[in-house]
Every structure is written in C-alpha cells, then in structure tokens.
Amino acid sequence: MNVERNKGLTKYHNWEPGDIFLRKADKSVSVYSKDGILKKS
C-alpha cells in the first residue's frame, strides 16, 4: 500500500507526509492535504 501510494510522487514536489492521494478513473491524481484541502488535481 505505502509503496503504491508513494510511487511517482516526485512530480508533486509540495506534498507532505499525511497528504492524501486519490487516483481517479482517468488515471489522474488529486492531492489533498491531511486537513482535506485540495492542493492539486
């Protein structure tokens, strides 16, 4: 789980531990901070 979650995160250079990555059906990824704020979609 952790490996998959952290794979390819170098392109999201402002992510922090605890951020939530949601992989959508079209293969894009939304990044939420741990308090639920959308950082990148």
Give residue 35's pLDDT. 82
What confidence tens digit (pLDDT) does each residue in 6-38 have?
555 555 556 677 787 788 788 888 888 888 788
Give residue 27's pLDDT. 81
Give residue 11's pLDDT. 58
Residue 1 has pLDDT above 50, yes or no: no
User: Residues 13, 36, 34, 1: is their CA dihedral positive or negative?
Assistant: negative
Q: Rounded to a whole number, what is the distance in angstroms from the first to the last CA of the chain?
A: 21
